[in-house]
Amino acid sequence: MLSLCVREPHIKKFMSKLFAQSMFDAFEVRGVSVTHFIKLDADGALTESGGKTFATWARLKPYIYHFIKGDVRPEYIKIVFSAPRGMLDGVAPNAAAAFLNMEYKDDAVRFTTATSQKEFSLSKEQDGLWDKYARKFFLLNGVAVEEES
């Protein structure tokens, strides 16, 4: 598991990439939780598919943005992103799923990575491949992250 953090003064730029640009658009969303003036929890499962597939961030972000837009920052945002199958096959072929968990609170945005494997293995190779991809993903998208221990 990798833990990365975006801190001030980089948060505003990051939030622009999250809500106004396409940085995360290809990722599926497993769940969203936002605390603003009320708490909003949303499952990312598409109802028309019987819950077997998930909405992409491109499809979901206009609704979440509409909920939080205004002059007051939300207190808390949590988004569980997962890599779509095509991305996952190119990064960590034995992974059944790979997650990028985002949490905004206390004026910082933290990301943690996780994977689940198709077949049981004690090897952490798939985790390492996904962590390497996550580091490169933020670097290529110009997001200033600090690695936390």
Please indicate, yes or no, if residue 146 is contained in any of the structural domains. no
What φ, ψ does residue 8 adopt, rounded to 5°?
A: -60, 145
Please indicate, yes or no, if residue 60 is contained in any of the structural domains. yes
The domain total for the chain is 1
Please indicate, yes or no, if residue 147 is contained in any of the structural domains. no
Count of beta carbons in the 10 Å neighbourhood of residue 47: 8
Task: Give pLDDT tens digits along the chain (149 positions).
Answer: 899 999 999 999 999 999 999 999 999 999 999 999 899 999 999 988 776 799 999 999 999 999 999 888 899 999 999 999 899 888 888 888 999 999 999 999 999 999 988 777 777 777 899 999 999 999 999 999 999 97
Range of the domain at 87: 3-141
